[in-house]
Amino acid sequence: MDTDVLIIGAGPTGLYAAYYAGFRGHRVAVVDSLPELGGQVTAMYPEKQIFDVAGFPAVKGRVLVEGLVEQAATARPTYLLGRTATDLVSHDDGVEVSLDDGTLVRAGAVIVTAGIGKFSPRPLPAGEGWLGRGMEFFVPSFEPYAGKDVVIVGGGDSAFDWALHLTGIARSIALVHRRDAFRAHERTVQQVRDSDVELITRAEVTRMSGNGVLQEVELDVDGERVVRPAQALVAALGFVADLGPIQQWGIEVQRRHVVVDSSMRTSLPRVFAAGDVTEYPGKVRLIAVGFGEAATAVNNATVAIDPAAKVFPGHSSEDG
């Protein structure tokens, strides 16, 4: 397929880049290895409040993504979800990108907005075979946990956030962690301590059981065997991130990040990058920063596609 701008990564930065490419009059395609839009926000913290996006004193991750998808829809993008960009070849007159399903995309320019890259959850050894049968790695919706006994395994922000959000929804919540110390933010830890959540430390899940679906879990709590009811278990043990094929494309990479200049150009012609995946002096990895980088990348990509175009697009308030 042919397009003007191909965006690799459908997280917040990629969605805003899709909108902006449409604003500049380009045909847009967006590819992402995940099956749904929103990247890490959708997969990991859709119900978490975000406080540092301009114009929103507080906004849930899910609501932010919904707004970005609606905004991007004005560009009528072609979404290629559940697919991974495997190869990229940059030419003076365009870029060719191969996807793992055999699709070849020819674009005038590419913008890499891959965030931390392709990420996969760290496995829970006792949970082998239980995924989708009571065990999950992420909590995209709270409704399935209503009235259930829930066990959350982990000591990071995701584990504690989900424990707080499920309070009042689940029948009971136990947060299991192998140490007494936690990686989560101190304030969130205190909120959990002050809630009805049961904190079980120096513990690990050793067995999960049930007739087809999860019914109970067995814990080793400081050497003592404990069995408790559980119809749902969330394994929030973190994840492993990898730039994957991007590292083989000939793009300059430092510490798993793509090096760009002030125009968001990479070391390859017609290939730009924006968002958390980028690296440059003074880089700050925030969603708010990614939005500005997306606009910079698109405007400079526009000149790469059409040398007669201007970098500055004019003000959107004057459009139409």
Domain at 180, CATH number: 3.50.50.60
- One domain, residues 252 and 188: no
Annotated binding residue 51: no
- One domain, residues 78 and 131: no
- One domain, residues 196 and 305: no
- One domain, residues 6 and 108: yes
What's the number of domains the chain is made of?
A: 2
Residue 320 confidence (pLDDT) above 70? no
In angstroms, the CA 221 to CA 269 distance is 56
Main-chain phi, psi angles of 120, to 5 degrees: -135, 140
Using one digit for the tens of pLDDT, what is the confidence trace for 219-238?
Answer: 999 999 999 999 999 999 98
In angstroms, the CA 275 to CA 49 distance is 20
- Nearest one of 176, 179, 174, 217 to 195, comparing CA atoms: 174
Per the DSSP assignment, residues forming a β-bridge with 109 are: 5
In angstroms, the CA 206 to CA 100 distance is 37
- One domain, residues 180 and 202: yes
- One domain, residues 90 and 168: no
Annotated binding residue 45: yes
Annotated binding residue 32: yes
Predicted local confidence at residue 63, as pLDDT: 94
Provide CB contacts within 8 A for 194, sequence distance 6+.
Answer: none
- One domain, residues 204 and 250: no
- One domain, residues 149 and 112: no
Using one digit for the tens of pLDDT, what is the confidence trace for 123-180?
Answer: 999 999 999 999 998 887 889 999 999 999 999 988 998 999 899 999 999 999 999 9
- Domain that residue 160 falls in: 123-235
- One domain, residues 101 and 137: no
Residue 57 confidence (pLDDT) above 80? yes
Predicted local confidence at residue 271, as pLDDT: 98
Annotated binding residue 119: yes
Last residue of a domain, one of 235, 261, 285: 235
0.85 exceeded by the pTM? Answer: no
Annotated binding residue 180: no
- One domain, residues 212 and 272: no
Opening angle at CA 160, ends 156 and 163, nearest 5: 145
- One domain, residues 88 and 25: yes
In angstroms, the CA 34 to CA 56 distance is 26
Last residue of a domain, one of 235, 257, 280: 235
- One domain, residues 231 and 255: no
DSSP 8-state secondary structure symbol assigned to residue 65: H
Last residue of a domain, one of 235, 270, 296: 235
